[in-house]
Amino acid sequence: MTSVGEEMHALVERMYPLCRSITGDGVRATLDIVGEHVPLTRHEVPTGTQVLDWTVPQEWNIRDAYVADATGARVVDFAASSLHVLGYSVPVSARMPLAELKQHLHTLPEHPTWVPYRTSYYKPEWGFCLAQETLDALPDGEYEVVVDSTLADGHLSYAEHVVPGRVPDEVLVSCHVCHPSLANDNLAGIAVATFLARELAEREPYYTYRFVYAPGTIGAITWLARNRERVGRVKHGLVLACAGDPGNVTYKRSRRGDAEIDRVLRHVLTASQRPHKIREFTPYGYDERQYCSPGFDLAVGSLTRTPYAGYPEYHTSADDLDFVSPAAMADTLAVCREAFAVLDRNRRYLNLSPYGEPQLGRRGLYDALGGRSDTKETQMAMLWVLNLSDGEHDLIDVAERSGLPFATVADAADALAAAGLLKA
């Protein structure tokens, strides 16, 4: 896991300098990098396309931007960090006094050395973000202001990667690709999703796993609009974000609150004895609020470490490469791996010999367990599975009621089904 964590951190480091937004070449360049790790199907949706109650906006691209003082020195420079420019800034080339310029400057007075992340997606505006200490040091005088950007008809870009399963029912894994140089929100989520996709492809999962890399809000809405007729295939889902910070894992339930994915994450986090939090659904946060909108009501939860806006570094330059760690990303990946291993094996069974306890010895079931170090545990698991296989309880119920490991319970169910005592 140490090695995998370092690989994911290296991927975050590669994507970090790129200027991403809800559209534009920064998103495409990010998808190019992800595409080196997993094959992607790319989608380009034209400006003006109606997507549910929204419209795909004009595409934004930027080449350069700066504020220069009277000597020509750049006191705010897009080349130093993509956070320095208000996202979706319209083009500008002007000279103005500091008093006028200040109307377009954004800072964080409470954190004077940090640069905030700000956007103006749907209102024509321009601006710069800078450290409060930089602003405080600016003398009165005239400044040159340049934003070399374009806002024109183009496309919204998103991509999908599908890991085929044994059944067409899908698990949706979604992450947003619209934030600029913010390592935790959401480059760590992109990295975890990508390495999770690679791992799932190696184990031939039961479900089909669909990974969606899309801009936040408008991207998820676009995906839903374009997949409205087939979205019923999505039986479970997870939105990944804030996957690399030092906080404990947090799971936010789906709108349903008791969906199978909710029960799986609760079980896995509790059984693993990791410090964790489980939060109830709220219609605010990441794209789970789109997937869980009442018209779709998909069983999609959200997995983070510290949730959105829950740490001081959120949406600031302090969310940098040092803020995320290989160990934290590896742990988030491990939670996903454990959760999907349970999800793939969780079933409801019907005991085909429910009147009294069936004779296990004559079916060779005890002999088949002779070489296991957990023989007694597995025998108990068989008895619990037989007793609770009434078509109403699933294997998570069995594991939680018996106190036995889920994998032991699932192995017992497999053995009993092979012996003709259970049917799914």
* Binding positions: 179, 185, 315
What are 212's strand-pairing partners? 160, 174
Closest CA to 186 of 308, 288, 82: 308
What are 208's strand-pairing partners? 170
Cα distance between residue 210 and residue 197, in whole Å = 9
With contact defined as beta carbons under 8 Å apart, do 399 and 267 qualify? yes
With contact defined as beta carbons under 8 Å apart, do 384 and 402 qualify? yes
Single-letter code of the amino acid located at 308: Y
Going by the annotation, the residues of the binding site for Zn(2+) are 179, 185, 315
Closest CA to 421 of 344, 343, 363: 363
With contact defined as beta carbons under 8 Å apart, do 171 and 236 qualify? yes
Closest CA to 82 of 157, 30, 145, 16: 16
With contact defined as beta carbons under 8 Å apart, do 62 and 146 qualify? no
Closest CA to 260 of 165, 201, 173, 344: 344
Residue 116 phi, psi dihedral angles, 5° rounding: -80, 160
Angle at 103 between CA 100 and CA 108, to 5 degrees: 135
Structure tokens that stand for 251 in this block: 């799971």
